[in-house]
Structure 1
Amino acid sequence: MKKIEAFIRPEKLEDIKVILKKLDLNGMSLSQVMGCGNQKGWKEFIRGAEVDVNFLPKIKIEVVVPDEQVDTVIDHITETARTGEAGDGKIFVFDIAEAVRIRTGERGNDAICHTK
């Protein structure tokens, strides 16, 4: 199992949610975050003083998927989130040692996949 963390532009969220639903993923977590990278931000004047605003709003999506779905999920997120401009985001992949569905006690892939 792998955990995929994708940092995307907020305006791409709805498109990504549609794609992940089509991939029949069982669940995801979303967080509103602030970050900086190549996009650089902008300058503002606040009470006459110049201020660099280099932390920009992003959305962090977290999903845990079976190993065989990792490349498909990454490809779909990348294709959907890409604008070609700085600030499109990043995707990180982590190994997951174990997953447990609290309600049923299911473990491993059974805990992250749909149940009847």
Structure 2
Amino acid sequence: MKLIIATIKPFKLEEVREALTLIGVRGMMVTEIKGFGSQSGHTEIYRGAEYAVNFVPKIKLEIVVSSGMAETVVDTIRQTACTDKIGDGKIFVLDVLQAVRVRTGETDTDAL
């Protein structure tokens, strides 16, 4: 099993969710986050005063899938979330040692 952690632009969330549903992803966790990378923030003007925005709003997706499905999920997220502009996000893939469904006690891929 693999844990896929992806950060994407907030306005891409629904489009990515729909694409992942079409390829068979049955669940994910979504968190609103703030961060910075290459773009390292920017300046904005609010009520006539200029101020630095050091952290940019992002969405973090956490998805656990079988190992065989991980590459398809990564490709789907990459293609769907891409705007070809700086700040499109990152995708990380980690190994998952165990999964347990709390309600039934099912384990590993059965728990997904």
Say how many residue pairs are matched.
112
Gaps of 5+ in 1: none
Gapped runs of 5+ residues in structure 2?
none
Q: Counterpart of 2:83 in 1: which secondary structure? A: coil
Q: State the match for 1:82 in structure 2.
A: 82
Q: Deviations over 1:3-53 (max 9, x none)?
A: 001000001001001011112212100000001011232213578875321
Match in the other structure for 2:56: 56
Report what 1:10 is aligned to.
10
Q: TM-score, normalised by structure 2?
A: 0.92
Deviation at 1:83, TM superposition (A): 1.0
Partner residue in 2 for 1:97? 97
> Any idea what SS the aligned residue of 2:101 has?
coil
Give the partner amino acid of 2:6. Answer: A
TM-score (norm 1): 0.89
**Identity rate of aligned residues, in percent?**
49
Aligned mates of 2:18, 2:44 — CA distance in 1:
35
RMSD over aligned CA atoms reads 1.6
